[in-house]
Amino acid sequence: MGKGLLIVLSGPSGVGKGTVCNELRRRLPDLVYSVSATTRNPRLGEENGVNYFFKSREQFEEMIANDQLLEFAEYVGNYYGTPRDFVEATLQSGKDIILEIEVQGALKVKSKFPEGIFVFLLPPSLDELKGRIVGRGTENQATIDHRMSVAADEIGLMENYDYAVVNDEIDQACHRIQSIIVAEHCKIRPKCEEIAAR
């Protein structure tokens, strides 16, 4: 059995990564979602083990010390990280897995898994992005401003990704990502061979 695809989805806060990921999971039941660990507080409706594994800073730092994370990053004052064993076991079992993570973490994943497929989700415009974060109503003004400045930095790092997908409309954005996954599975020469041949 071949190894599954490691798909990394990034994009600025408010671009709709969560919504796109949920819709992709609904459409592609075989696509496995990596649940991250975080020290941020749960938002209304978020469940431990489903949206995130919610941890204290001490617990998170213990996971770092025990090398249990494939990558981790600090984002707007909180830790976020990807549990390593689950990703590796999923890929070994031949299934595709999607990681919804910010750019610093994605670059760390890229250094360990250059054969991963890196997809950057873009807002139709920065104004639209701010409107979405404000409209969500879950963040205070200082956090909104901070998330907007991080968003501009993140967009600057987009050139490290393989694909850019504009999230103008959820159905279209998902359709584009599904097409990318199909195309990657149809490749005659997988990315790891391409890299080895360089």
Backbone angles phi, psi at 31, to 5 degrees: -80, 125
Edge-first strand listing for the sheet containing 52-54 = 52-54, 36-38, 78-83, 69-75
x/- track of binding to ligand 5GP for residues 18-37 (CB under 6 A): ------------------x-
Which of 75, 113, 118, 161 is in the footprint of ligand 5GP by CB under 6 A?
Answer: 75
Which residue is at the shortest CB distance from ligand 5GP? 105
Residue 11 annotated as binding?
Answer: yes
- Contact partners, residue 8, CB within 8 Å, separation at least 6: 98, 99, 101, 106, 109, 110, 116, 117, 118, 119
Helix (H) or strand (E) holding 166: strand 163-166
Contact range with ligand 5GP by CB under 6 A, out of 58-66, 95-103, 179-187, 188-196: 95-103
Which of 8, 100, 120, 121 is in the footprint of ligand 5GP by CB under 6 A?
Answer: 100
Applying CB under 6 A, which residues contact ligand 5GP? Answer: 13, 17, 36, 40, 71, 73, 75, 80-82, 100-102, 105
